[in-house]
Every structure is written in structure tokens, then in C-alpha cells.
């Protein structure tokens, strides 16, 4: 169990932007944050020991991950077949929506060959003036009024990321997710990376930083 925990600990640290890289003070940083000895942290990383339950919760909070996943490798509850089908249809609709907006803006779209999506998160390609842009399209999930979670591919650096937000059946926005915002505010979860987005006063924000809403293809240029 401790060895498996060690692997999850390394993964959570790698995904947390505020944690120093390996061999660059990572153990010192965590020891200070957890208020434990560096020797205790060293044992966590080598797999010979695990934190106590209270410290485990604190560690998970610091790393921005689920404590049950960090401690035990427990995945989130599996959705029912109906929920999975509904989710796929919604995500497929979000991809088609973005493709339609791009084509209405006078550009071309193409879809990746089977297997590409699983490899790097590409949902479609937008083609403009001879340049091809790989896009990942996420469907934002409402967690409470005005607050959303957006799943980000782990290979997000190689794609342009956008998210479709539905506030009602006929009320939606396509929001561009800049790489610098993702890099600074991404949160690791068992299934990958998540970005927490808030909507208020007509604006989408991540930690008070406004996000651009897709109006024209120029929004995809850095």
C-alpha cells in the first residue's frame, strides 16, 4: 500500500504547480507545509511509510487532490450507463458546437483519426490561412450555481483548450482557456487535471482572472 501511495504522491506533486520539482527542494517544501520532519517526508517518497489520516487530509489539500485517491487510490464513483451515454452525447454536442462556430467564422475544421483523442486530447482541428490548430473541447460541469469544473487533458500544452458552458438549454458560451491560466491554476484529480471556473456578472474567471469568450477565430491566437 505504501509503495502505491508513493507513486500517487509523486504524481500529485508533479501536477501541483506550486510544489518544487524533484531534486529541487520538493521534500523540504512538503515537510514545511505539513509541519513534519524531512525524514518523515523522505520515507513517504521512498514508500516505507504513509502519513497519519489527519496529515493525509492536510497533504491532499495542499496538493489539490482527493484524499481518498491519495491515500488508497480510490477512484470517483463509476457513472451509470445512462449517465455515461448522456455525458458522451453532451460532449459530442459541445465539439460539434465549436466546430460550427469556427466554420461560421469562415474557417475549416477536420476531425482526428480514431485513437488521437485518447493520445493527446485532440477533439478537432481548426484550419485558418494554411495553419492548423489542434483543439480540445471540454464540457464544463456545474458543481453549484456560478461554479464549474473543466477537465483539462494532461497534454494540454500541445493543444488549444476551450470549454462549453451551458447555463440553460438555450444559453451557452464557448470560453478559451489560456495555457498560462491552466498552468497556474490546474488542480490534479484522480482522472487527470481540472480547472475551477466561476461565472458572475457576465464574466468567466479563474482565481479572479477573466477568461476570453470565443467571438471569432482570433481568440485562439496566443
On average, the pLDDT of the chain sits at 83
The answer on pLDDT for 81 being more than 60 is no
Domains (ranges, CATH) in the chain? 2-72 (1.10.260.40), 81-220 (3.40.1350.10)
Q: Which residue has the higher pLDDT, 150 or 116?
A: 150
Residue 186 has a pLDDT of 93
pLDDT tens-digit series, residues 12-61? 888 877 888 888 889 999 999 999 999 999 999 998 889 988 899 899 88
What's the start-to-end Cα distance of the chain, in Å? 44
Cα 3 versus chain centre, distance: 26
Q: Which residue has the higher pLDDT, 79 or 158?
A: 158
Q: Please give the Cα distance from 189 to 101 (Å, whole number).
A: 31
CA dihedral sign of residues 165, 167, 168, 172: negative
CA atoms within 13 A on the CB side of 124: 22
Residue 221 above 60 pLDDT? no
Band of pLDDT at residue 2, cut at 50, 70 and 90: very low
pLDDT tens for each residue of 146-160 = 999 999 988 888 899
Amino acid at each position: 500500500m505504501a509503495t502505491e501511495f508513493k507513486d500517487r504522491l509523486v504524481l500529485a506533486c508533479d501536477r501541483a504547480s506550486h510544489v518544487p520539482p524533484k531534486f529541487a527542494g520538493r521534500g523540504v517544501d512538503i515537510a514545511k507545509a505539513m509541519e513534519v520532519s524531512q525524514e518523515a517526508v523522505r520515507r513517504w517518497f521512498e514508500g516505507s511509510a504513509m502519513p497519519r489520516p489527519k496529515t493525509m487530509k492536510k497533504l491532499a489539500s495542499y496538493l489539490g487532490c482527493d484524499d481518498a485517491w491519495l491515500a488508497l487510490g480510490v477512484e470517483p464513483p463509476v457513472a451509470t450507463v445512462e449517465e455515461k451515454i448522456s455525458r458522451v452525447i453532451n460532449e459530442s454536442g459541445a465539439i460539434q458546437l465549436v466546430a460550427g462556430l469556427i466554420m461560421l467564422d469562415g474557417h475549416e475544421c477536420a476531425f482526428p483519426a480514431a485513437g488521437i483523442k485518447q493520445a493527446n486530447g485532440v477533439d478537432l482541428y481548426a484550419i485558418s490561412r494554411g495553419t492548423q490548430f489542434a483543439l480540445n473541447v471540454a464540457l464544463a460541469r456545474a458543481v453549484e450555481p456560478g461554479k464549474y469544473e473543466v477537465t483539462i487533458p494532461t497534454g494540454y500544452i500541445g493543444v488549444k483548450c476551450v470549454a462549453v458552458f451551458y447555463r440553460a438549454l438555450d444559453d451557452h458560451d464557448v470560453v478559451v482557456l489560456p495555457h498560462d491560466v491552466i498552468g497556474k491554476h490546474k488542480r490534479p484529480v484522480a482522472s487527470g487535471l481540472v480547472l475551477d471556473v466561476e461565472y458572475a456578472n457576465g464574466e468567466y474567471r479563474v482565481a479572479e482572472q477573466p477568461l476570453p469568450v470565443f467571438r471569432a477565430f482570433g481568440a485562439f491566437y496566443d
